[in-house]
Homo-oligomer: A and B are copies of this chain.
Amino acid sequence: MSVLVVGSVALDTVETPAGRVTEAVGGSATYFSLAASLYGPVRLVAVVGDDFPQRGLTMLRERRVDLRGLEIVPGRTFRWVGRYGDDLNSAETLETQLNVFAQFDPKIPADFRDTPVLFLANIDPELQLRVVKEIRGARFTAMDTMNFWIASKRDVVTEVMSSVDVVLVNEAELRQYAQNRNLTAAARQVLDLGPRAVVVKKGEYGCAVYAQDGYFAVPAYPSEQVCDPTGAGDSFAGAFIGSLANSPDWSWRAIRRAVLHGSVVASFTIESFSVDRVVALQPEEVDRRLRELVSFTQIEPEWEKGLIDAHQYTAQARR
């Protein structure tokens, strides 16, 4: 099942305790597409300037990402300059040059309009709304957003949240949106708007899904070599949506499995600067690490009996 993503393609300059990279290929739609393309066909809608390096396009084409919705316009590509300190959970933005992205007006090829699965990466929520209406064939829709839009266009963000099946958001943004520090209470506010699930990304602490169907949480894969967290959230989203698009159904079980795929692919992304690791990623590596993550978080089914036995003492003592 095809996935359509609308988002940014950018050039990132990033400094982390592990080093520095200059004008490397980045952007939410890029990370998303590279991750999602491990699971099925991806259609990308974005804009770049005529300075965007050919190798960026080649890389996406080699992963069979359909680039007919990628507009190349005269001018400079969107650039982001950021820094991570010792706390790799949050980036400090040093500079944002929107360039051609400032006038981004998603041009959706006619035969993209019936794409069954749609991901609205972090762009102006007014554009997100327009795209939701245009992709009439979409049967499953998810979105991301960021602090800037929550602060400046909260009502529009709310409207987008009300029109999608899944909201992906990081914990700081969820708290900001709900104006409530308790994530359970904050997630309930968003769920009450109508989406089926709210996926809360917590960086090194993993991820939690608050859903109409229940609650599910998974710790992050424990990485000893975190190089550059840029793109972790977007590649999480790519693997999450890709896994769902590739699933026989969109059941609660499929959603939970998708969360594990998202966690694992994100754990690879952060092992290198830019998209280097996710570009090279093989499905076998994902499967291997998924099995590891399962062994790190799941207990043998027989254990439940042991739970009850554990309280023999108190029960006896009270008799």
Contacts and interface: CB of A to CB of B under 8 A. Distances in A.
Contacts of A185: 224
Contacts of A286: 311
A307 B290 contact: yes
Interface residues of A, number: 62
B181 A87 contact: yes
A243 B311 CA distance: 9
Copies in the complex: 2
A94 interface: no
Given A39-B311, A310-B39, A219 B206 contact: yes
A184 B257 contact: no
Contacts of A206: 205, 217, 219
Contacts of A310: 39, 243, 246-247, 257, 261
A55 interface: no
Which residue among A219, A287, A301, A303 has the maximum number of chain B CB atoms within 10 Å of its CB? A219
A99 interface: no
A64 interface: yes
Interface stretch (A67-75, A102-110, A144-152, A208-216): A208-216
Which residue among A205, A206, A290, A301 has the maximum number of chain B CB atoms within 10 Å of its CB? A205
A304 interface: yes
A226 interface: yes
Contacts of A219: 206, 208, 217-219
Interface of A: 38-41, 64, 86-88, 181-185, 202, 204-206, 208, 214-219, 222-224, 226, 243, 246-247, 253, 256-257, 260-261, 283-284, 286-287, 290-291, 294-301, 303-304, 306-308, 310-315, 317
Given A86-B181, A206-B217, A243-B310, 19 more contacts: A38-B314, A182-B224, A183-B204, A208-B222, A214-B295, A214-B296, A217-B219, A219-B219, A246-B312, A253-B300, A257-B299, A257-B307, A260-B299, A287-B307, A287-B308, A287-B311, A291-B304, A294-B299, A298-B299
28 contacts: A38-B314, A39-B311, A64-B317, A183-B204, A184-B224, A205-B205, A205-B206, A208-B219, A214-B295, A214-B296, A215-B222, A216-B297, A217-B219, A217-B296, A217-B297, A218-B219, A246-B312, A247-B310, A253-B299, A253-B303, A256-B303, A283-B314, A283-B315, A287-B311, A290-B307, A291-B304, A291-B307, A294-B299
